[in-house]
Amino acid sequence: MEIRKTKILIADDDAMVRSTVSKILEMFGYVVQTVSDGKGVIDIVNDSFDVIILDINMPGMDGFDTINALNKFDYNIPVLFLTGAGSMDYAVKAINLGAYDFLTKPIEDLDIFNVKIRRAVEKRMYVLQERRYKEALEDDVRKKAEKLEEQNKLLLSYSNSLENATVQLMSSLQNAMEEKDFYTAGHTTRVTEYAVMLGMAMNLPENDQVVLRRAAQFHDIGKLVIDLSCIQKPGKLTDEEWLLIKKHPTVGANIVKPLGFMKREQFIIRHHHERMDGKGYPDGLKGDKLDPLTKILIVVDSYDAMTSRRNYRKNLKMEEALAELDNCSGSQFDPVTVRYFTKSIVDFAPTNNVFSREYLENFYVSDN
């Protein structure tokens, strides 16, 4: 590293003083630059100067104005004032303004002059050292923060891929389960599609849409561990079989519970057979206690159940199913969700000409 010579800036309107002081300082081994007034100082000052010597009485900006202006910069260069003998008031004012020291002119004692200059130079070295230390520290902190952020990103991507792998594994199991049962085949896929469509139609936040999709995807996962033979038989289910079936929301929530990343989904799965009037299962929760996403799942799940064929009954047509949703709006289903669903499914369905104008006027949700 190149060793930088200490550089001193002198401002004095008296050319004689400038030249004398310069010569002395150069004799001591300093690099010197001179200007004739305060403005000259402000024009050229920068971090390469280590000490500034200011005369007090100068045309234009005097010494006090100049130090005031210098204080606005961040250079932190010690300023020494040149004062005539006997101007003690000036000296006090100079110190109050932040001057480091003052020198008397004419210079009579070279040793004292030299000591004062050296002290100011040392002060400047100390300032620079502290600045470098602070910069190094900041740099170190910044580098560590960057490293930490990188590690966090890596961790997040691990955790995301783990989540995705888990979701995929569960989906495969779910599909395998559904394929065993001709009548429920495709139910999960359709319910998930309806839920995603409705989430978008209701303009839900992106995060809610992710939760809704996952909850829909796994809402019936509890059926994985329930003996399916009873729901595959033709005809109506017995009371005992119903009791067994009714366990699937709780069982499903318990399957998802240990995963940690599906906390909200867990409750939606648990409550997807609740009703607005509190007559659903497993907890008999009323509408005001249900997650809004649960209300969506309840509607789309029921709609698909109504429009798909089951062992014990024929499926309803879309128009009939929507009328049923409307009938049970408020008691079983959340009215707002039903209105949005009715509107969206009409747009979503490829055959929306099956709806009469009168029907659309009754069920269509206005955007206002």
Residues near Fe ion, by CB under 5 A: 220
Phi and psi at residue 202, to the nearest 5°: -85, 0
| Residue 220 or 304 having the CB closest to Fe ion | 220
* In the complex, minimum distance from the CB of residue 223 to Fe ion, in angstroms, rounded to a whole number: 7
Within 10 Å of residue 57's Cβ, how many Cβ atoms? 15
Nearest alpha carbon to residue 158 among 255, 258, 261: 261
Considering beta carbons, is residue 94 or 297 the nearer one to Fe ion?
297
Which residue number, 61 or 251, has a Cβ lying nearer to Fe ion? 251
Q: Kindly state the smallest distance separating residue 251's Cβ from Fe ion, in Å.
A: 11
Coil, strand or helix at 217: helix
Write the secondary structure of 27-83 as one string of H (helix), E (strand) and C (coil).
Answer: HCCCEEEEECCHHHHHHHCCCCCCEEEEECCCCCCCHHHHHHHHHCCCCCCCEEEEE
Q: Tell me if 278 sits within 8 A of 285, measured CB to CB.
A: yes
- What angle, rounded to 10 degrees, do the helices at 263-270 and 292-307 form? 50
| Residue 51 or 268 having the CB closest to Fe ion | 268
Other Cβ atoms less than 10 A from the Cβ of 349: the count is 12
Which of 167, 191, 165 has its CA nearest to residue 178? 191
Lookup: tokens for 45: 């000052």
Cβ proximity to Fe ion, 45 vs 262, nearer residue: 262
Least spacing, CB of residue 269 vs Fe ion, in Å: 9
Instruction: Look up residue 310 and give its DSSP letter.
Output: B
Query: Whose CA is closest to 18, among 130, 89, 107?
Result: 107
Closest to Fe ion by CB, 69 vs 328, is: 328
Of 55 and 220, nearer to Fe ion (C-beta) is 220
Q: Report whether 324 contacts 306 (CB < 8 A).
A: yes
**Whole-number minimum distance, CB 263 to Fe ion, in Å?**
20
The length of the chain is: 368
- In whole angstroms, the minimum distance from the beta carbon of 150 to Fe ion comes to 43
CB closest to Fe ion, residue no: 220
Q: How far is the CB of 248 from Fe ion (least distance, A)?
A: 6
For the bound state, the minimum distance from the C-beta of residue 182 to Fe ion, rounded and expressed in Å, comes to: 17
Rg (the chain; Cα; Å): 42
What is the crossing angle of helices 335-348 and 318-327, to 10°? 170
User: What is the SS3 assignment for 32?
Assistant: strand
d(C-alpha 106, C-alpha 101), whole Å: 16
Q: State the minimum distance, in angstroms, from the CB of residue 308 to Fe ion.
A: 13
Cβ distance to Fe ion smaller for residue 101 or 301:
301
CB of 270 to Fe ion, least distance (A): 11
Establish how many alpha carbons lie within 13 A of residue 232's alpha carbon, considering only the half-sphere containing its beta carbon: 12
Nearer to Fe ion, 101 or 220 (CB): 220
